Chains A and B, each alone.
Chain A
Amino acid sequence: MAPILQLHGVKAFYGALEALHGIDIAVEDGGMTVLLGANGAGKTTTLRAVCGMVRSEGDIIFAGAPLQRRSTEAIAAMGVAHVPEGRGTFIGLTVEENLRLGAYTRAGKPHDAMARMYGYFPILADRRRQQAGALSGGEQQMLAIARALMMAPRLLVLDEPSFGLAPRVVEAIFAIIDRIRREQRVSVLLVEQNASVALALADHAYLIETGYVVASGSAKVLADDPQIRRSYLGY
């Protein structure tokens, strides 16, 4: 099967500073790819490059169409749903309004999709009229994922969904990501510090260090790689 997302020789820049030095990454259609690496390695920058949030060079192809020189909002409208670092929920709006915003690019009433999200995340249904800022960290992360899925995306981009959450919450969130991925047939590009959880779910993994891809392969192979085990899995 052809990859849904392909990056070829992608460089990314913050001002004059080159943060990615030409990386190649692919996400299989219906697959889940994880980017591993230390803080500052360029994982988040890679996601930002895909969504047109940083200046980049090279080829980024999504579902056969180049994403280069498209605006972030246009890329979103093409079916790339990005849950950014820090979740990016609209804290001053209600839970339901956040979900409605997720469906902004879709025609028609979002009721069916919303009902489906409340099915995945019942806690959000209980809190639909509350301000998103009043939710706990885990609930906000659920809301952010649900908002992204309201778009009915072909690719879900997740930037550290486990950040700042208790282990049990992390487990719950990843379990649901895995379920949604299979049920909604959405491909996932994931950045994650929690390598053991991520490698268990993903089918492909890339290890990024200082702006280069230094290792890649099936998640299973990388999980068994002694160097990766020592550096990122801690055993």
Chain B
Amino acid sequence: MHLFLQQVFSGLASGAIYASLALALVMIYRATDLVNFAQGEMAMFSTYIAWMLINAGVPFWAAFALTLAVSFIGGMVIERIVIRPVENAPVLAAVVVTLGLLLIFNALAGWLFTYTLQEFPSPFPDRPLFGALITTRDLGVIAVTLAMLALLFVFFRFTATGLAMRAAAQNPASARLCGIRVGRMLAIGWGLAAAIGATAGIMVAPILFLDPNMMGGVLLYAFTGALLGGITSPVGAVIGGLIVGVTENLVGTYLIASQLKLTVALILIIVVLVFRPNGLFGTAIVRRV
């Protein structure tokens, strides 16, 4: 029982990271009907920025904040330069563009920082708590994720810009008639998603070690979480991410060798697509022709 609870809590910590990235995916999907396959690699690149800052002597949390700001601006720039031109292109063209971004960021990181694994400091000490049920590091990761989610909730629920972003995602034509600059809202959405991704990257790097391929598996889990929650639901993405984290950990502990854990994600994707294509919280999208 103790082992089981231990694995649940450590699963929640990795699940929190998947949940963050899943949320970034869902935000972009809701705003542009596009799955950003480069979300993980963008997060990885952000993490390298944090790594450089920390190596240059910047304190951890200052580096964290600075990285989020740089990622936010970077995400907006990517939307303007790379995504805007394919806004009205067929979906497949846009998907290929995000796949291209994935390869570019991966190669760029390899070229700039090499493919050697780098140690990344954790801001949280690694001490067992509550009779070794959970470590302080896992608790820290969960706390950071929850804080970020709370901030996002407040932003989308109570600020004019947050409301305008929801309106722009839901009905761009009407949003324009309200005087909302839809293009700017999309750019802010990409910026936010990049900053959320950066948080996920920085939280996962102390566990996985930093290298250009670090986010490959994480993106797959995040994508599974997003699908499980229903790709259109932010709340679903978070819950889906947490479920995937716990499931992955339990299955890896009790059922199969942990080297095969990634398979769990693929099996979950197939199960969701077969039995509940709209996920747990998603709504069916009806297109009027």
Min Cβ gap A105→B in Å is 4
Please, which residues of chain A bring their CB within 8 A of the CB of B178? 73, 76, 101-102, 104-105, 147, 151
Residues of A59-93 at the interface with B, using a CB-CB cut-off of 8 Å, are 71-74, 76-77, 81-82, 84, 88-93
CB of A100 within 8 A of chain B?
A: yes
Contact of A77 among B163, B164, B166, B179 (CB under 8 A): B179
Min Cβ gap A46→B in Å is 16
Q: Are A151 and B171 touching (Cβ within 8 A)?
A: no
Contact code string B170-205 (vs A, CB < 8 Å = 1, else 0): 110111111111100000000000000000000000
Q: Are A101 and B164 touching (Cβ within 8 A)?
A: yes
Please, which residues of chain B bring their CB within 8 A of the CB of A91? 170
Contact code string B130-172 (vs A, CB < 8 Å = 1, else 0): 0000000000000000000000000000001001101100110
Query: How far is it, in angstroms, between the C-alpha of A102 and the C-alpha of B163 when the chains are bound?
Result: 11
Interface hub of A53, A74, A101 (most chain B Cβ within 10 A) = A101
Min Cβ gap B253→A in Å is 40
CB of A209 within 8 A of chain B?
A: no
Please, which residues of chain A bring their CB within 8 A of the CB of B174? 84, 88-90
Beta-carbon nearest neighbor of A51 in chain B: B177
Contact of A104 among B164, B170, B171, B173 (CB under 8 A): B164
Query: How far is it, in angstroms, between the C-alpha of A51 and the C-alpha of B174 when the chains are bound?
Result: 12
Query: How far is it, in angstroms, between the C-alpha of A73 and the C-alpha of B175 when the chains are bound?
Result: 8
Q: Are A73 and B167 touching (Cβ within 8 A)?
A: no
Contact of A100 among B160, B170, B175 (CB under 8 A): B160
Query: How far is it, in angstroms, between the C-alpha of A105 and the C-alpha of B160 when the chains are bound?
Result: 10
Min Cβ gap B104→A in Å is 31
Please, which residues of chain B bring their CB within 8 A of the CB of A147? 178
Q: Are A93 and B167 touching (Cβ within 8 A)?
A: yes
Q: Are B170 and A73 touching (Cβ within 8 A)?
A: no
Min Cβ gap B183→A in Å is 9
Interface hub of B163, B166, B173, B179 (most chain A Cβ within 10 A) = B179
Q: Are B176 and A73 touching (Cβ within 8 A)?
A: yes
Please, which residues of chain B bring their CB within 8 A of the CB of A97? 163, 166-167
Query: How far is it, in angstroms, between the C-alpha of A84 and the C-alpha of B172 when the chains are bound?
Result: 13
Interface hub of B171, B173, B178 (most chain A Cβ within 10 A) = B178
Q: Are A101 and B167 touching (Cβ within 8 A)?
A: yes
Please, which residues of chain A bring their CB within 8 A of the CB of B181? 71, 73
Beta-carbon nearest neighbor of B182 in chain A: A73
Min Cβ gap A109→B in Å is 10
Please, which residues of chain B bring their CB within 8 A of the CB of A89? 174
Please, which residues of chain A bring their CB within 8 A of the CB of B173? 53, 84, 88
Please, which residues of chain A bring their CB within 8 A of the CB of B182? 73
Please, which residues of chain B bring their CB within 8 A of the CB of A72? 176-177
Known: A90-B170, A93-B166, A93-B170. A104 touches B176 (CB 8 A): no
Min Cβ gap B235→A in Å is 14
Query: How far is it, in angstroms, between the C-alpha of A101 and the C-alpha of B97 when the chains are bound?
Result: 33
Contact of B167 among A53, A74, A90, A105 (CB under 8 A): A90
Please, which residues of chain A bring their CB within 8 A of the CB of B166? 90, 92-93, 97
Min Cβ gap B137→A in Å is 38
Q: Are A88 and B171 touching (Cβ within 8 A)?
A: yes
Contact of B177 among A88, A92, A93 (CB under 8 A): A88
Q: Are B179 and A151 touching (Cβ within 8 A)?
A: yes
Please, which residues of chain B bring their CB within 8 A of the CB of A71? 176, 181
Q: Are A76 and B177 touching (Cβ within 8 A)?
A: yes
Min Cβ gap B187→A in Å is 14
Query: How far is it, in angstroms, between the C-alpha of A102 and the C-alpha of B160 when the chains are bound?
Result: 11
Using a CB–CB distance below 8 Å, which chain B residues touch chain A?
Answer: 160, 163-164, 166-167, 170-171, 173-182
Query: Which 9 residue pairs of A and B lie closest in terms of their CB atoms, listed nearest first?
Result: A105-B179, A76-B179, A88-B174, A72-B176, A77-B179, A82-B177, A73-B176, A101-B178, A104-B178
Q: Can you list 22 contacts pairing A with B, beta carbon distance less than 8 Å?
A: A51-B177, A71-B176, A71-B181, A73-B179, A73-B180, A74-B179, A84-B173, A84-B177, A88-B177, A89-B174, A90-B174, A91-B170, A92-B166, A92-B170, A97-B166, A101-B164, A101-B178, A101-B180, A104-B163, A105-B178, A147-B178, A151-B179
